Amino acid sequence: MAVAETQLYAKVSNKRRSKSASVLLESLLAKGFPAHIAQKALAATGQKSIEDATKWLHSHCNDPSLDDPIPQEYALYLCPVGRLHNHLQEFWKESKRQCGRNRAHEIFPHITLCDFFTCEDQKVELLYDTLKRVGDSFLQCFPSSISLLLHSSTSYLGFFIGDSHANILKEFALAFSSEASALADCHVKPCLKQLHLTLAHKFYPHHQKTLEQLAKCINPGETCQWVATLYSRDMRFVHYQTLRVLFQYKPQNIDELLINVGDFIYVDPAQQSNVSEGWVIGTSHQTGCRGFLPENYTERANESDTWVKHREYVFITAPRFLAQTENEPNVKLNGEVCDPSWSGSVTNVLSLQNVTLRRGVLVMRHGERVDQVFGKSWLQQCLTADGKYYRADLNFPSTLPKRKDSMKHFEYDPPLSCCGIFQSRLIGEALLDQAVTVSYVYSSPALRCIQTAQHILQGKAAKPAKLTCVCDFIVRSNFPLSSLVPSESYEEYVSRSSAVIKQIITACPSKGKGVILIVGHGSSLASFTRPLLGLPARDSNNFAQVVRKIPSLGMCFCEELKEENKWQMVNPPVKTLTHGANAAFNWRNGIVED
């Protein structure tokens, strides 16, 4: 151990520390880990066990930032445990289903007592001691229940804390911040403004009424236990998106990232502009390594999914200070309470208003096309010298449809690949499994879109809906071909799309409760749904970035609220389709030839 590290360790050892934390550090030092790296591992894992810290150190052996003196950020939250927590979790789930994600979904239900602050790794255990002492001192005056008053605005929905109870919580936060700042030599700022428990934040204004109705199903006086909890996060990735890995990917190039199911990846949206379509560049939460990975191997995760819980103080009749590793009969390690007799009751209440079937619009990108796999020169790869088509790869279609013009036009209007046909039929089968009634089908005249719609209907294998082909979504009766502009501007495209979706909605009787299926292109998802939702068009640069990330058969679903004369975006009626790449293989390479 270096002299400076030894002196620093000795200095910290003389201060008040829990015996368990000291034992953990000494065990890591005995294994030969430098003090600063051992303390970093303990801080990153919540000082739970020697096994967790050792595992973290081994997984981060190639982490380029392992030696960097970057501390964690810490926050003190007051979290509900019990039936109120279950009500809030059901609200989270239902609000996300009916209105989509908003900022509140990034974090679990909580009241912020002290917002994020930094603390050196070797002083974190002093925060634990502070939490216990301050908790003990406030135990007798802590309210048995906390007054929660519902407040709503066009961009915020949540519970404000009643003044008398808020004053006690503010005094608790102030006491913790004062002692923690003095002992751990860090700047802790208590929250002294209006204390609140957020339900929804930064949502679209037209969702306000729906969210309010869901919130009114929550009984704020429900049985609850309050727990003051200390969390930490990696300060380097505060403004990044967090992705959860769904499938394992083994790197095939030196700049690619090894990912395993359940890993979390930090992705900076500002760094993705030059990345190839379908890929992202990110940093692994599990290893600290950075590289490229296929985006469709991941899904969006919550910001708090990577946070670490350090210690809790549970406000009950007798003081009790819990480490996360302790087991309680009713309290899970993640702070949730299990009550089987009550489970699911809120879901039923929140879902009552959705029992009535509504008209919906399902907008979908076409399936995989051949040039997406084999490049722009795909046609040259499967034509004989005399211009006849043959199947050069099993992913080429078995035959090409006959067309009046030259076969060369397939270069500008490519068909689906065999995988694209299979994808489309899978979607149709999924629609059939979910008993989704497709009343109308509209398709772009592009061959790949017509084929996608055709194979979806074949996969559905039910009474076929009427397939209407609109010329690049230009309804012939109102938009003759002569009105088209060869080089259309983005503004003209947005205006035309808005007019077309309105005409489609008008042409399909509102008394029908089925789904209007629209098969188009990546750009169709935003250009058709945003006018329905009453949202302005995206900025052209932002629009291009969004479109390039939409995969084959990517879809979004809008549902009509006829009684309110508006539409809302909800989860599509079928699951997404995810699969990996399968490169061309030559058996000679590496098998026969060296």
Q: For residues 230 and 127, is the Cβ–Cβ distance under 8 A?
A: yes
Q: Which two tokens stand for residue 212?
A: 């309010």
Band of residue 345 on the pLDDT scale cut at 50, 70, 90: very low
Q: What is the pLDDT of residues 155-174, one digit of tens each?
A: 999 999 999 999 999 999 99
Q: Report the alpha-carbon distance of residue 72 to residue 236 in Å, rounded.
A: 9
Q: Is 105 a catalytic residue?
A: no
Band of residue 485 on the pLDDT scale cut at 50, 70, 90: low
Looking up tokens 């939409």 gives: 550
Hey, what domains does the chain have and what are their CATH numbers? 25-60 (no CATH), 72-235 (3.90.1140.10), 241-300 (2.30.30.40), 360-373+416-570 (3.40.50.1240)
For residue 132, pLDDT over 80 is answered with yes
The backbone torsions φ and ψ at residue 90, rounded to the nearest 5 degrees and listed phi first, read -70, -35
Q: Is 103 a catalytic residue?
A: no
Q: Report the alpha-carbon distance of residue 99 to residue 356 in Å, rounded.
A: 17
% the chain with pLDDT above 70: 83
Catalytic position from the list 366, 425, 455, 530: 366
Q: What is the pLDDT of residues 45-104, one digit of tens each?
A: 999 889 999 999 999 999 999 998 899 999 999 999 988 999 999 999 999 988 888 999
For 15, 146, 229, 258, the CA distances from 324, given in Å and listed in that order, are: 23, 24, 10, 30
Q: What is the pLDDT of residues 409-449, one digit of tens each?
A: 888 899 999 999 999 999 999 988 888 888 889 998 899 99
For 89, 205, 350, 583, the CA distances from 94, given in Å and listed in that order, are: 9, 17, 7, 41
Q: pTM for the complete prediction?
A: 0.58
Catalytic position from the list 36, 60, 207, 365: 365
Q: Is 365 a catalytic residue?
A: yes
In sign, the C-alpha dihedral spanning 324, 330, 332, 337 is negative
Q: What is the pLDDT of residues 541-581, one digit of tens each?
A: 778 778 888 999 999 999 988 878 889 888 898 888 887 77
